[in-house]
Homo-oligomer: A and B are copies of this chain.
Amino acid sequence: MLLVSMRDARAAEVRAVEALLRSHAEVAARVPDGAGVTLLARSSNGELAPVAERIGRMPGVARVARIDSRYVLSAREAAPGRTAVRVDEGLEVGGREFVVIAGPCSVESGPQMRATARAVAGAGARALRGGAFKPRTSPFSFQGLGEEGLAILADVRRETGLAVVSELLGPRSLEAVDATVDVIQVGMRNALNYSLLKELGRLPSRRPVLLKCGIGTSLDEFLCAADYVLAGGNPNVILCLRGTVGFSQESRCALNLVDIPALRARTHLPIVVDPSHAAGRWEFVPAVAASALVAGADGLLVEVHHDPAAALSDADQSLKPSRFHRMMHRLSLLAPVLGRTIADLTTPVCDPEGHPMGDLCLEAPTAGLQPSCVAAATTAREACHGE
């Protein structure tokens, strides 16, 4: 496929490029986005190199690329570098900041959301997650508060200023969800629901879409699914890995560690990891989260509940606020080594329980690591404990 990206081009310039393309190939798509238009053409005889070169010199053309994968618009070759998706004023996913989105599985009540929002924001989370419409395995389980849940999200968003991420289950609630949230989540059950993805691609708001990888979806299919949104003209797609079916009996899903750098090598889109659904048990969430940071992810989607034992869903995999806080503290010590920031580094994330040095270390469930963290961590720690 030949991709021609045009930026700030005049109508006549686009027409000229299209005319030349059509004389040598079949034009497969004309994708509008915020800043211009992208043309995709497919050759019948493979001799596109000469025409690609000519087009590259035409006015209004920002980028010409030949792409051999099944996915095109999400392919790494389709953009000059990594893409950052702007969520709201001052928040983008895919830039230098490692962005943590946290909150409960389900919106259960106003007080629950307010308490959680305050707790996660205080620990460095930049956006709040919470499902108003819940895809539950059984039709007889709690299905979410629906419209009432959206109203709660809208209130908490107004009060805290936190961006809000919530799941869309079908087109009937698209308008209401789009009007409320900052990022529309597409869950793993709908990862290949092309009908829904097409609607999100055509959304006039170009609302960012957080697309989860399906439990049986290959990276190739995953990026093709992203292409369904991009092809409609919505360039704001955030990819989310949350594990696939796998061999392990230890965890809810198998999160193949290699998928993180492998996906990063294939696409220009930002990647976040959901350690909660991967692990299925809160004990393992901090280790998975830190590994995701180190392996190249751009952020996390984490389940935090102010009272996991009382949660209406996903109780076993939700962190308590204090444990989330400690996890963020550790991530904020690792991030600088990788050239990443977390929240605002001038106010380092404190360990809320004032743990001594040893606890700064990432805690595997059985602890065991030595307490003497080295000087590299000192500055942040001192600001925290006033030592």
Contacts and interface: CB of A to CB of B under 8 A. Distances in A.
B257 A339 contact: no
A115 interface: no
Contact of A265 (B246, B280, B283): B283
Contacts of A42: 140
A219 B251 CA distance: 11
Given A339-B358, A377-B336, A287 B294 contact: yes
A268 to B, nearest CB: 8
Contacts of A261: 283-284, 287-288, 364-365
The 5 closest A-B pairs by CB, nearest first: A216-B216, A170-B195, A336-B374, A296-B364, A189-B192
B244 A140 contact: no
A192 B135 contact: yes
B246 A138 contact: no
Contacts of A291: 257, 260, 291-292, 294-295
A262 interface: yes
A372 B374 CA distance: 21
Contact of A247 (B96, B245, B371): B245
A337 B377 contact: yes
A259 B250 contact: yes
A150 interface: no
Contacts of A336: 373-377
Interface string A214-241: 1111111100100110010000000000
Contact of A244 (B76, B248, B369): B248
A339 to B, nearest CB: 4
A175 to B, nearest CB: 14
B258 A137 contact: no
A155 to B, nearest CB: 25
A171 B169 contact: no
Interface residues of A, number: 104
Interface string A352-369: 000000101110111011
A76 B366 CA distance: 9
A245 to B, nearest CB: 4
A66 B323 CA distance: 29
B337 A70 contact: no
Contacts of A248: 218-219, 244, 256, 258-259, 262
A258 B256 CA distance: 9
Given A170-B171, A254-B258, A264-B364, 6 more contacts: A139-B224, A245-B245, A258-B288, A337-B337, A338-B361, A338-B362
Contacts of A373: 336-339
A338 B262 CA distance: 25
Given A227-B139, A290-B294, A247 B216 contact: yes
Contacts of A196: 170, 193
Contacts of A1: 140
Question: Which among A195, A214, A263, A340 has the greatest number of chain B C-beta atoms within 10 A?
Answer: A195
A243 B29 CA distance: 33
Contacts of A29: 139-140
A10 interface: no
A109 interface: no
Given A366-B265, A374-B336, A219 B140 contact: no
A270 to B, nearest CB: 10
Contact of A250 (B137, B169, B243, B256): B256
